[in-house]
A and B are shown apart, each in its own frame.
Chain A
Amino acid sequence: MNALITSIPAAEPVDSPREIAGPTRADAELNRRLVTGIAGAAGIALLASRAFAGPLDPPPGPITASTKPLSEIEPRTAINAANTPGDATAVFVISQPGSYYLTANLTVPAGKAGIRVAASDVRVDLNGFVLSGNAAAGTSGITDSGVALTDISVHDGVIRAMSGIGVNLGATRRSLIDELRVHDNAGTGVLTGHAARITGVRADVNAATQGAGAAGIRSGDASQILRCTAKGNTGVGIVVGTDALVESCIASQNTGNGIEGFSYGKVLRCIAYDNGGHGIVSASVVGSCNSSDNTLRGIYVSSASVEGCAARSNGAHGISAGASTVTECTSALSISAGNSAHGYDLGASSNLTDSTAYNNAGHGISASQSSRIEGCTSRRNAILGIAVAGSCSVVENNCSDNITGIQVAGASNRIEGNLCGGGTNFGIQVVAAYNLIVRNTCSSNVINWSIYFNCPYGPVVDRTNPAVSGMSGNGTVASTMASTDFHANFSL
């Protein structure tokens, strides 16, 4: 059969469908017809002897194609002057819902956007190509022009060197942005509206001239920013609205904050590193994040939950939280010239548990009013292990080798069950009245205890040199505590 086909090349158009598909049912149909015609002219009996090859009669009904039409091979609409003609503001305008794709790099001329989306329910596949503004004036990459649209998707490509915003879908709800590289745009890299989902986007060195509000990635309320990177942008690396989720992202070397959220937002499993502002700020839930070497605070939140986070070598406090829960975190090497950088800086009504503060330039843990600090380890900080103002509970912490282990500056605190050792000044120092000090232990501090008047405290029992022998065995042995007072504080 194929020999028959190739024997009539003149009848075979150059742009035959066979160039994109192998021999098909249509070819078979053609061959059957050729065979039939030849047989009619030259002797049907000869070929009839080969009738076992298949029926010679074509199937009933009209001729139909048996290959895919080209419109099924690439059913999407190419973005070009014919399909998506532009206007005075954009090189291309997509005005109908559907799926579109780019077919070449696009250099955006001055005063225009590359692609303006003017309809909802549009998907734009950049197909790996580059939209470049070459820094020409008035350029932007992809825009909704401020029209309230919904469900715009932009996928897989590069948007660079625009004098404005790289991707501006700020008025669009539920935009979906993925696998973009957005860099060196003078405005924000990616700007989206409410409920956007941005995945696998990296935004670098954007927003150099935008000024206030500039960011690598900026998204609206209830958005999700996943697996993105924002590096070297002027302003914030990643900023989201309320109820947003930022997960598995890296923000580094941005001139402003690394990651900035708002109320009820979550920042999970992110790294904020070497940013010019705070590392992570304003989120409601911060989990398993790492924030280091930022110019200001590592993590800075209020009315939030911070769990399993590490903060190191930040220029201000490591973790700063007001009315928040902070648990199982580490904060170390907070640095500032004025020794004001604490490991943890707790605003009123905070709860810090099971965390470590190590070698910070200020206090290990500093709490203002009405906070609770329990089960923490604070060691080798430049000033105080734990500093509290008023109405705090400080329970079962271990403070060692600070200037003072625990310092209480206000009234109505409860200081219970703590271990303070190696202070170069005091073990526990209470400088205000009406604090309860019970069941604590101090050892090897220059002065173990300094307690203000009008404070209720358990007896301080000096066991620094009890002159008792050791013991070994299973039998009953007398106490060497020299007190049976449950509230007693002990010096060792």
Chain B
Amino acid sequence: MTTTIRSPLHHGSDFLPRRAVIGGLFGAAGLALVGGRAAAGPLDPPAGPIAPTSKPLADLEPRTAVSASTTPGDAFTLYIISQPGSYYLTGNIAVPANKTAIRIAAPDVTLDLRGFTVSGNNAANTYGIQDNSGDAVHATIRNGIIEKMAYSAVYMFGDKLRFTDLTLRNNGGFGIITGASCRLERVIAVANATTTTTNPGGILAGPDSSFFDCLAESNKGYGIYAGSGALLVNCHASQNTGNGITVGPTSSVIDSSATNNGGVGISMQHSGLADSCTANTNTGTGIAGSFASLVRHCIAFSNSGGGVDVWEGALIARCSAGSNTGFGFRVATGCSITDSVATFNTGSGIDASVGTGSTIARCVTRSNTVHGINAQARCYIRENHCQSNSSAGTGAAGIIVTGTSGRIESNHCVGNNGYGIHVNANRNMITRNSCAENVVNWNFFSNCAYGPVINCTTIAVSGMSGNGTVASTIGSADPFANISV
């Protein structure tokens, strides 16, 4: 019986027969030689009945090994797990053509791959792990590699699944596709779907799923795709042919990055939240948010479809967008963009040309090819710094306003290769701004209300130093004065 393993040093263990063999041999051939070793200890067993002093094998590894005897398969599957419980692999698995490696056909299963590799070796019609139409609810799969399947590595539609410490690579279909409310942690999907004509992607999960520390790289299609209510923390998507990260409504993407993807870096539907993310060198927009999205502390650089693009009622705060092809930031109606920086974009730094009723405040735009800020009607544009924009000499402006009823206040525009502030619609108010070294500092449409423009460009006054009372050199005491410096 092999269910009991005993320590070699325990009395009553299997070590005693071995010593008996030795003793017999020595007794026949030369006991005196061995007699010198008699100090090995007493040979008499302790009093009392013989009893095991160590664990049965079943206690050493109580989980069920995945094998032909314990989890027999069928014509389509190597192994089928049909009961709840805890299972583990005992070695690598090579999946033959036309088979799935493991099918989980019960709820509450824990499957530990134990670091082994399940490989389809590119054989035809192979899957890694599947379920039966979602019956593997609450399953956990962890710790291994699934590779080279003709189709997907993990193809499960059950809800509430958990996947941790998996590497899914070089599969013909999805790296992983799952149902709703799943949790993926430290899942790596690399180079999946590269040989297919479709674009399945690396990691896909249904609504209410959470992703922690996941990586999707070089997949054909999406890097990471999640349904509504998804939470992504510390995830990375790069070099995928589609969008890097795509999430449904009410999802949050935090501390994550999307780099060098073939589509949008991070794409969010309405009420998406991106916080402390980076999106660089993507073919599409860096970060795109739909209605009422919120983008904070994010960086978007060198994207081919603009930096950050949000829809109605959205908010951008404390972000930076640079060297993007097209706009740095683009907002639609009723948005707010504050405390952000847009530099060296080939379009406008901040494009609110469809952003009626938006607020743009305390931002810096510099060296963008077109305008620094381009705003529509009813925008409140205040306390921004716009410098060296319209660098291609397009005659653009530090700030341009093309709609009515806006308020342009306390901005500073410097060295733009066109206008400093250009208001191209009536009924706007322009007060307390300053312009310096623009080709043309000011250009206001008719029927606008603006404070006096005070030209201090040729001012000839002495400097001053001290604590005493000194007269103004501005040349105006008008509280609404706009000043050329």
Contacts and interface: CB of A to CB of B under 8 A. Distances in A.
**In the complex, which of the residues B33, B62, B293 has the most CB atoms of chain A within 10 Å of its own CB atom?**
B62
B6 interface: yes
B84 interface: yes
Contacts of A481: 429, 431, 449-451, 478, 480
Interface string B387-417: 0000000000000000011110000000000
Contact of B138 (A181, A310, A400, A484): A181
Contacts of A227: 183, 185, 210, 212, 233
Given A200-B183, A271-B252, A103 B440 contact: no
Given A128-B140, A356-B335, A377-B334, A181 B108 contact: yes
Contacts of A130: 84-85, 108
A151 to B, nearest CB: 24
Given A474-B441, A477-B452, A312 B18 contact: no
Interface in B23-57: 25-26, 28-30, 33-34, 37, 39-41, 54-55
Interface string A127-139: 1111010000000
B86 to A, nearest CB: 3
Interface stretch (B94-102, B125-133, B301-309, B374-382): B374-382
Given A377-B357, A398-B358, A474-B484, A355 B108 contact: no
Interface string B147-190: 00000000000001010000000000000000001010100000
Given A40-B33, A273-B208, A332-B271, 10 more contacts: A14-B2, A37-B26, A310-B271, A356-B314, A357-B313, A376-B359, A444-B404, A473-B440, A477-B453, A479-B450
B4 A273 contact: no
Contacts of B22: 30, 33-34, 37
Interface in B426-463: 427-429, 431, 435, 440-455, 457
A358 interface: yes
Interface string B221-255: 00000001111010000000000000001111010
B334 A127 contact: no
A330 B185 CA distance: 29
B9 interface: yes
B7 interface: yes
A410 B455 CA distance: 44
B293 A422 contact: no
Contacts of B333: 379-380
Interface in A94-121: 101-105
Contacts of B74: none
Contacts of A204: 138, 160, 181
26 contacts: A13-B14, A20-B5, A34-B22, A36-B34, A40-B33, A69-B9, A70-B7, A70-B54, A200-B185, A231-B208, A248-B210, A253-B208, A270-B231, A290-B273, A328-B338, A354-B339, A356-B315, A375-B336, A379-B313, A419-B407, A422-B378, A441-B407, A473-B442, A479-B450, A484-B477, A490-B449
Given A105-B85, A290-B252, A40 B30 contact: yes
Nearest to B310: A330
Interface stretch (A154-162, A212-220, A386-394): A154-162
Interface stretch (A45-53, A186-194, A458-466): A458-466
B183 A377 contact: no
B358 A377 contact: yes
Contact of A11 (B2, B21, B254, B453): B21
B445 A470 contact: yes
Given A17-B5, A474-B441, A441 B429 contact: yes
Contacts of A64: 9
Interface of B: 1-9, 14, 17-18, 21-22, 25-26, 28-30, 33-34, 37, 39-41, 54-55, 58-60, 62-63, 84-87, 108, 110, 112, 138, 140, 160, 162, 181, 183, 185, 208, 210, 212, 228-231, 233, 249-252, 254, 270-273, 275, 291-294, 296, 312-315, 317-318, 333-336, 338-339, 356-359, 361, 377-380, 382, 404-407, 427-429, 431, 435, 440-455, 457, 475, 477-481, 484
Contacts of A469: 446
Interface residues on A, range: 35 or more
A398 B273 contact: no
A221 interface: no
Question: What are the 4 closest A-B residue pairs judged by CB atoms, nearest first?
Answer: A358-B313, A128-B110, A128-B86, A379-B334
A461 B313 CA distance: 30
Contacts of A105: 84-86
B1 A14 contact: yes
B403 to A, nearest CB: 10
Interface of A: 8, 11-17, 19-20, 26, 30, 33-34, 36-42, 58, 62-65, 67, 69-71, 73-74, 78, 80, 101-105, 127-130, 132, 156-158, 160, 179, 181, 183, 200, 202, 204, 227, 229, 231, 248, 250, 252-253, 269-271, 273-274, 288-290, 292-293, 308-313, 328-333, 354-359, 375-377, 379-380, 396, 398, 400-401, 419, 421-422, 441, 443-444, 461, 463-482, 484-486, 490, 492
Given A37-B29, A227-B212, A398 B380 contact: yes
A480 B449 contact: yes
B448 A443 contact: no
A333 B60 contact: no
Contact of A379 (B40, B87, B357, B455): B357
A58 B33 CA distance: 11
Given A40-B30, A127-B63, A310-B293, A229 B480 contact: no
Contact of A471 (B443, B477, B480): B443
A446 B44 CA distance: 108
Given A8-B21, A380-B334, A70 B60 contact: yes
A333 B334 CA distance: 13
Contacts of A467: 447
Contacts of B2: 14-15, 19
